[in-house]
Every structure is written in structure tokens, then in C-alpha cells.
């Protein structure tokens, strides 16, 4: 599993989680995008608003059109079976206060086939809520704008991720026309993606789609070569 993490809310984690999951699907890799930000969940809403059906299996939604939650998808081991046409998008629990996130994310890791890409849309910062998906994931991706304050917070998140044995694969610079060389040095990992600014609907923009395709290619050729089933 890969934790999509960042320092502040609004840094582009949710958009990157969904954009990358869709790009991996376009490469033929089964992908799961799971909402790990249970206090401010919006992954399934973004998926629905931008054209995906939201379900545990990546096709029609269950429960009469409601999205499948992380908890529902992990009740039976191996129950999350994404296909290659679109990512399976899992929502936050209906009552997050009644669920311990740490075992839920660990169960998700067991429920998804080992050769599928699983992306966790993490809470912002380095709070205890953000620690649970970082502990469960194998590696992380840092998502940040190139503002000074955002980079400082991303560096703190990177340090927490390393302490939790979830080292960053790289950084994705969002809303950026270029990325200065010192960014990689500051965060201690390579720049693996640059996503241009295309408001108000970036995931509908061909340039943004191409940027996520490039990010998916880099990850599939690096980390994914030993972990994911890519066509």
C-alpha cells in the first residue's frame, strides 16, 4: 500500500490519489483508492463528481447506490477485487468514531490482492489520525504545492513517515509549472511528478491527465515493477 500524504489540507492529496489511481488503471493495473481521511472524507464524492462509479469492486455502487466503505470492503479477506478498467474507490466509514482505523487499514492490505495498487488518501499533517495509514502502508508519496509553508509541513510529514517505516517514494508537486532542484533535497526524495494548475476541474483537463499518466509510468517502472500487475 502507498500512503498519499502531505502537510496541509488542500494540498492536493485527494485529487492526486484519484488521478494516480485512474492513471494506473489506464496502464492496465488493478488499483484501489481508499479514503483514509475519516474526519474530512471527500474521495468518493470527488470520484462521483468527476465520472467514476464508486464501489468496492470498481463498478456499480453497492447498497442502493451508496459507496462501499473501507470497513465493509474488508469484512471478508480478499473481498476487494478491482478490475483493470477503473479503480475501486472506497469511502470512509459511515460512523468513523466507532471504528479503530489502524486494524481497518491493516485489514484492507490483506483484502486487496497483492498485485494490485492500493492508495490511501491520508489526513493532512502529522496528527495521530495521519499516523494510522502511514503505519499500515509500505511506502508513501508526498503531495505538496511549492509554497514555503507547505514545503516545511511536507518535510515534517516526510520525517514522520520515515519514523513509521513508510519512507517516501517521491514527491508530487501540484499546481506547479516547474520544480526547483532544492525541493528534492529538502524532502529527501526525488520529484516523481509535477501536476499543472488547471482549475476548476483539473481531473477533466488533458494536460493534468497526461501528468498523472507520467507519474503512473514512473511508479510502475520503479516500485510497481516488483509489486503490481501491470499490462
pLDDT at 226 > cutoff 90? no
What are the pLDDT digits (tens) for 108-139?
999 998 889 999 999 987 677 889 999 999 99
* CATH number of the domain enclosing 68: 3.40.50.300
pTM value is 0.92
**52 is a domain residue:** yes
CA dist., res. 116 & res. 227, Å (int): 8
Q: Name the one residue in this structure whose C-alpha cell is 508519496.
A: 141
Share of the chain above pLDDT 70, in %: 92
> Three-state SS for 191?
strand
**181 is a domain residue:** no
pLDDT value of position 139 = 97
Number of domains composing the chain:
1
pLDDT at 102 > cutoff 70? yes
The grid coordinates of residue 27 equal: 496502464
Domain that holds residue 87: 2-137+206-226
**214 is a domain residue:** yes
Amino acid at each position: 500500500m502507498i500512503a498519499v500524504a502531505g502537510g496541509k489540507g488542500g494540498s492536493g492529496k485527494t485529487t492526486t490519489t484519484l488521478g494516480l489511481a485512474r492513471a494506473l488503471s489506464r496502464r492496465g493495473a488493478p488499483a484501489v483508492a481508499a479514503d483514509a481521511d475519516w474526519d474530512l472524507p471527500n474521495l468518493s464524492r470527488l470520484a462521483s463528481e468527476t465520472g467514476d462509479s464508486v464501489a468496492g469492486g470498481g463498478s456499480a455502487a453497492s447498497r442502493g447506490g451508496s459507496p462501499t466503505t473501507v470497513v465493509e470492503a474488508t469484512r471478508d479477506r480478499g473481498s476487494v477485487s478491482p478490475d483493470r478498467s477503473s479503480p475501486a474507490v472506497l469511502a470512509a466509514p459511515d460512523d468513523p468514531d466507532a471504528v479503530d482505523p489502524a486494524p481497518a487499514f491493516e485489514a484492507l492490505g490483506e483484502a486487496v490482492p497483492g498485485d494490485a495498487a492500493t492508495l490511501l488518501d491520508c489526513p493532512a499533517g502529522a496528527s495521530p489520525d495521519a499516523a494510522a495509514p502511514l503505519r499500515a502502508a509500505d511506502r508513501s508519496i508526498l503531495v505538496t504545492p511549492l509554497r514555503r509553508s507547505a514545503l516545511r509541513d511536507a518535510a515534517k510529514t516526510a520525517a514522520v513517515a520515515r519514523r513509521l517505516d513508510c519512507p517516501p517514494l517521491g514527491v508530487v508537486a501540484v499546481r506547479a509549472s516547474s520544480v526547483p532542484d532544492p525541493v528534492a533535497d529538502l524532502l529527501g526524495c526525488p520529484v516523481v511528478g509535477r501536476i499543472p494548475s488547471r482549475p476548476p476541474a483539473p481531473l477533466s483537463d488533458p494536460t493534468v491527465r497526461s501528468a498523472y499518466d507520467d507519474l503512473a509510468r514512473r511508479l510502475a517502472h520503479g516500485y510497481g515493477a516488483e509489486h503490481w500487475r501491470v499490462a
